Each structure stands twice: as C-alpha cells, then as structure tokens.
Amino acid sequence: MNVVKLVSSVFKDVTSHWKRPAEGNFVSYKEIVNLGLGGMGNNFTMVLVGYMGLNAGNTLLGSTIGIRPLHLQYMLTIQTVLNVLFFFVRAHIVDNTRTKWGRFRPYIAFMGIPLAIMSVIFVFLPFQTMAYNDKLLCVFVFAITISMVQPLFTDTYSELQTVITPNSEERAKVISINSLIYSFAPTVTGLFVPILSNITGGYTNINTYRYVLAPVTILGLGLNFFTAIGCKERVVTSSSYVQKVGIIEGAFMIFRNKHWWIRTIAGLIGFLESATGVFFGWIYIYGVQDMTSYGILNTVMGTASGIAMAITPFLLKKLGNRKLLIYHNLINVFLLFILMFTFKVPTIMFIIMYMNNLINALSIVYNQVMHSEVKDYQQYICGYRMDFVFGLAGMITMPITLMTGYVIPYVYECYGLTTNYDILYDPNVRNSLFFVLCILSIIGAVLNLIPYFFYSMSKEKHRNIVRVLRYRALFDDFETGDFNADIIKNGVEAVRSGLELNDSPTPDLKALKAEIKNAPKGEAKDEARKAYNLAKEFAGEKAEVGIFMDEINKFDTSLWLHKVEKARELITNDADSMANISGSIIDEAKKLPKHTKEERQIRKYDIQQAKAIVKSGRLIKKNYPNGLVKPDENRIKEAYAMPDSSSAENKLRNKAIKEAEKELNLYYKTISPYAVAQKLVHSFENREEVIRWAESNYEKACEIIKEREEEESKNAKGRKHKAEGGNK
C-alpha cells in the first residue's frame, strides 16, 4: 500500500509541476528531463572522445595503437603545461560570455561537433602501417587539439548543473534525477559495445572504435540541444551584472577560498585512489576473455550508479555533504582492503567492485553540490561570479600533479606493460600488478579523506550565503535603476525569512526528543518524530543565520564604518586624482597600530586599499594618458538588444557586445578601488531605502512573475495544439 501511495505521490508531483516548479523551487520536471537528455548526448558524444585521454590505462592508445605508458605520461605532461594557456583562453571566453542563451548553453549545443569530427578522423588513420614515431606524433597532435576544446563541451554541462537553481536541496534533487536519466547512455553503451566488439575483434582491435564507438559518438550530437534550448541558468546576481574581473585577479581571489583549498588538496594527495579502476575491464579482456559476459556484467555494474544517484539526495538531507563524504571514503577504504584479497576470483571481485562503484557514485551528485556551494561562497567573499577561472586557479598544483602522474605508469612498466599489453594474459603478472594497485588505492583513499575533516560548509551555511547574495543583488539593481521581478521577489523573501529566523526562539530539542520517547506507538510517535526533525533542521539553520545578520548589520561595526570613512575620503575627488596619489600611502598604512584584533583588521584593510589605489594610479596613466573617459553603459544594453536573426546581424551584434564590454572592463579595471568605494558609500547611505523600495515593489514583482508563467503556459499549450493540428 505504501508503494502504491509513493508511486501515486510521485506521479502527482511530476504532472503537477511538469512545466511550473513547486513553490519555493526554480526548476520544473520538464527542464530536468531536458537536462538529462542533454546529459545523454554528452555521454554518447564522449564515448569515443574519452579514448583520446592520455593515460596509461587507455586501451585505444595503449594496447590497440601501442603507445608506451611512460610515453603517454610524457605527452600528458606537455598537455598539462599547455593547458595553462588553454585555461586562460577558455576562462576568458566562457566567463565573459553573455548571450541570450546564457553563459554555458551555446557551448553545450555546438562544441561537441568538432570533438566528434576529430575523434572519428583519428580512429580512421592507418595506424597499422605507421612507424612508432608517426603514431606518437598523430596521438600527440589529436590529443592536444581535443584537450583544447573538450572542456568547453564537458565542463560547461557540469557548470550548468551548478547554476540551474540557487537552492542547494533542489540542486541535489535535480542532479540526482538528471544523473538517473543520463546514466541510460552509459548503460546502453556498457551493454552493447562489449557485445558488438566480439564482431569487430574486441577492445584491442581498431575496428571496434571505428565501427562501434564512432557511430555512437555522432548519435549524441543531436541530444545536446535539449539542454541548450530547454534549460535556464539562474545565477544570483543583479540583472545588470557584467563580469569585471580579470582572469589572473580572479585566480588570486580564489586562493582566499578555504573550501576550494580543502577540495583541491584532497584531490591532489588522493591521486592513487583510482588505481584499481582498470580491474574490471582488464580482468574480462585479459583474464576471463568473455566480452559477452563483460557486456552483461558491465550493464549490471551500471545499476550501482543508478541506485547511488537515487539515494544521494536523501543521504545529503540526512547527513549533509561533509558527513556523507567522510562515510563514503571510510567504506571505500574497507572495500578496497577486501578487494586486495579477492580480486583473483572474478565473481567475488565483481560483487566487491559493484559495492565500491555504488559508494563512489554517491560523489556524482554530492561533488556537483559541493562544487556549486564553493562557487557561491567565492561570490560571497569577493563579490564576483567566477566559473572557469576555478580551473585556472587549480593550475597552481600543476607541478605536483605532473610528478604524481608518473607513479602509476611507472608501476605498469615495472611489470612489463610497454607497447604490448599482451603480458596481462599471464595471470602471475596480472595478479602481482593488481595486488600492488590495491595497496596504492587504499593509500590514496586514506589521503583523500584527511582534508575533509576540516571542511565546514554545511547546507545551513550555504542557505544563508545565498540569502546574502540575494540581499546584495537588491542593492545593485536599486543603484542601476533596473527592475527585475525575480531579483526583487527573491531578495525580499530572503530578508524576511532571515529576520524571522533570527527573531524566532531556538527550539528545545531535548524536550522534543523526550516527547518522542513518551509518545505512544503509532501515529502519535510518528508526529513527535516529525516535529523533532523539523525543529532540528530549524535549529541548524538558525545557528548559521549569523552569516546573514552580519551582512545586514555590517555597517554597525567599527571596521565597516572605517571602510565607509576611507571610501568617502577617496570619492571626495574624481577618479583621475588617483593618478597623483603617492606610493607613500602604503608606508603610512603599514605604520598603523596592530595591538588588538580590530586594529589588525583596519590595518590590513588600509594596506590593501592603499596598494589598490597606487596600482589604479599607474593604470590611469597607462590606459588613459589624456584623462579618464567613462564609457556609456547603455551601449552594452543597446548591443544586446540588437537583432540577430541572420548570420550578418549576429556578427554585428557580437562585435558590438565585445567592443562595449571591452571598454567597460578596461574602465572598471582601471578605477577598481574608486568604483568599489562609490558602491560602498551608496550601499551605506541607501541601506534602509533599498529595503523599502524592494518591499514596496514586492507585490508588483509577484504579479509580473505570475503573468509571465501564465503566458509561458499559454504559449506552450498553443504550440502543442499547433503541433497536434499539423499531425492530423
């Protein structure tokens, strides 16, 4: 009966919110399905492209084409170094993209096409007749070229999931459902590709990649448009937001993000954890040598991910990110320890690896949730929204990554894996290698776990950080005179809920727990337990509401009043005056007292401000030798309003946008401390007026949103009727 109720409840929820999300949510089920279909396209497209990765376990480049593991690692080293330049280019392109499709969706739609073309051309090259050096050159050229383009396709899809909703719990739900949908793609390929490879000679024969994987890659291209057209990006910023932060400057801002550092260090020192990833494929290719069984078991293995994706939102709600991650890693260490003594028996090995895959698949959802929370925290501490710059910041660990990348290829070559992987047919060699890889994986899993004991971003903290971002967005729109219904509605509700949370009494959890114990069995006990869980969640969020209240009351503190005073001093004169300010202001700031915590905070701020002003003075002389000229900010709005129905119009529009943004970015980069000071003073002077303005327009904003949703629903019905009429 409970199952029937559950199915009925799910069906009702999906049909009721197919086109319009539930109250408090942002994403409809139709949009989630579009996201999932695009994810299937992404997976299908990457079926062949993924084999262009320069790693020692790659069956295409290693055992089929015959490239030595260490040579693959040498090329990977060069690729990693070149990726510093590629990161600059990609980060600049994506983080400054502003189209009617958003920042990420244009790349999701179109960047899979060159990837598919390049990978298909590559597998049809005549490797059978090539000398080893010629093979090496072809692999290098194609792999490097694909690595330049691939993140514009794969990373933009991942990034879209982090901005599809600002609600952390809803994001976990969206990612979970999306993962279940797009996992159909690897399930299909995992079943049929190994079976079909029996016809083409297996994974060590180039024909498998030419006639089985290549068509699948091309098939995925069309599905990408479901996500590109049917999804939205919902970033918490003002409606007039324009990216005004440089790539290098943005990377240094990210270095102040403690949560980013914890995740980066965990990945850095846990590089060995994936050493056992080759077990399943290699045992069936070189040990059991039954590709039909491999295809069937590979499909069964795929169900582990499906189960994990389905249960992750519930686990996240129950445990939170940090606890779930720690439990995941502890269980992973335990399973790897068992695997070390059981991998010689394929059936037992499969069961252990199935459980291991299930546990590891939890990270598919919670890693995306954590990544988006880290990005929201970054926007909270620095005021800028950055996405691809995170990849560039991660390049600081490149020297360590390069060195650690040689460990596993070196182990492979120590056991005889060079240009011919046939040595793995020998069970003695294979078992000895696998035992060592198990030990390395256990070491990696333990090292990966340690940093997360210091990770403190909870869902309650994140919820209050989002409140702060919505509150700040009100100030930006008030200052620019924009009227965005979503910004006003979300901002007002954030302030109301935050203040209500702060003023509400903390629930007595001990008393509520006692009520559960004393309640009679049945409905009364269930109600008592439900009341306790709600109170516990409320108490957890109330404990972190200080983040929001600190933002609301920041101008009551001596530090922020000092910042306002220094800002007023700066904007008393025009921005040009910074060109005449002497560098001695840095020395004066360094002489400030630093006996108390408050004095140290003020001194630190004044030093940073002095350095920024001196830097701006130099930039004014360099960029505007004849005096500052402020660009017309209306130009960018006019540029985006230009028609783009034809190729020629689109070209003119993009050129106008690029020129307008270039002028604005140069200007604001040049006068950065002055612009920040102006914004700070305006925020201080208008802090009460902004709330009154937003509250007075709240009902109007709600009405606009309601009318817009009704119009969208009406248009959707019209299109449906038109389509049905055309089919008759």
Is residue 243 over pLDDT 60? no
Is residue 587 over pLDDT 60? yes
What pLDDT band is residue 696 in, cutting at 50, 70 and 90? very high
Q: Which residues contact 79 (CB under 8 A, 6 or more apart)?
A: 54, 143, 144, 147
**Segment 311-347, tens digit of pLDDT:** 887 888 788 788 888 899 899 899 999 998 888 888 8
Task: At 461, list the tokens.
Answer: 């903290």
CB atoms within 10 A of CB 538: 16
Mean pLDDT along residues 356-376: 84
Is residue 237 over pLDDT 60? no
What pLDDT band is residue 728 in, cutting at 50, 70 and 90? low
Mean pLDDT along residues 220-225: 91
Could you tell me if 336 and 445 are in contact, meaning their C-beta atoms sit under 8 angstroms apart? Answer: yes
Higher pLDDT, 163 or 607: 607
**What are the two backbone dihedrals, phi and then psi, of residue 99, each rounded to the nearest 5 degrees?**
-120, 170
**Segment 612-623, tens digit of pLDDT:** 999 999 999 999
Could you tell me if 41 and 223 are in contact, meaning their C-beta atoms sit under 8 angstroms apart? Answer: yes
Mean pLDDT along residues 451-476: 89
pLDDT score, position 241: 42
Using CA atoms, how far apart are residues 324 and 329, in angstroms rounded to an integer?
Answer: 9
pTM for the model: 0.72
3-state secondary structure 635-683: HHHHHHCCCCCCHHHHHHHHHHHHHHHHHHHHHHHHCHHHHHHHHHHHH
Beta bridge partners of 99: 102
Higher pLDDT, 259 or 22: 259
Mean pLDDT along residues 401-409: 85
Is residue 727 over pLDDT 60? no
**Segment 468-501, tens digit of pLDDT:** 999 998 998 888 777 888 889 999 999 999 999 9
Higher pLDDT, 368 or 596: 596
What pLDDT band is residue 32 in, cutting at 50, 70 and 90? very high
Name which of 378-392, 529-543, 655-669 the model is least confident about. Answer: 378-392
Using CA atoms, how far apart are residues 596 and 559, in angstroms rounded to an integer?
Answer: 12
pLDDT score, position 1: 43
**Segment 527-566, tens digit of pLDDT:** 888 888 889 888 888 999 999 999 999 999 999 999 999 9
Using CA atoms, how far apart are residues 672 and 615, in angstroms rounded to an integer?
Answer: 9
Structural domain spans, the chain: 22-457, 461-552, 555-714
CA proximity to 515, closest of 499, 536, 531: 531
Using CA atoms, how far apart are residues 687 and 676, in angstroms rounded to an integer?
Answer: 16
Fold (CATH) for 22-457: Growth Hormone; Chain: A; (1.20.1250)
Mean pLDDT along residues 226-250: 71
Could you tell me if 94 and 388 are in contact, meaning their C-beta atoms sit under 8 angstroms apart? Answer: yes
Is residue 700 over pLDDT 90? yes
**Segment 497-508, tens digit of pLDDT:** 999 999 999 888
Residues written for the chain: 728
Per cent of the chain over pLDDT 70 is: 94
**Which of 67-71, 187-191, 248-252 has the highest mean predicted lDDT (pLDDT)?**
67-71
pLDDT score, position 723: 52
What pLDDT band is residue 521 in, cutting at 50, 70 and 90? confident
Is residue 713 over pLDDT 80? no
**Segment 92-109, tens digit of pLDDT:** 777 666 666 777 888 999
Beta bridge partners of 102: 99
Mean pLDDT along residues 697-707: 91
Q: Give 140-145 contacts, CB < 8 A, sequence gap 24+.
A: 140/75, 140/78, 142/52, 142/118, 143/52, 143/53, 143/54, 143/61, 143/75, 143/79, 144/75, 144/78, 144/79, 144/82, 145/118
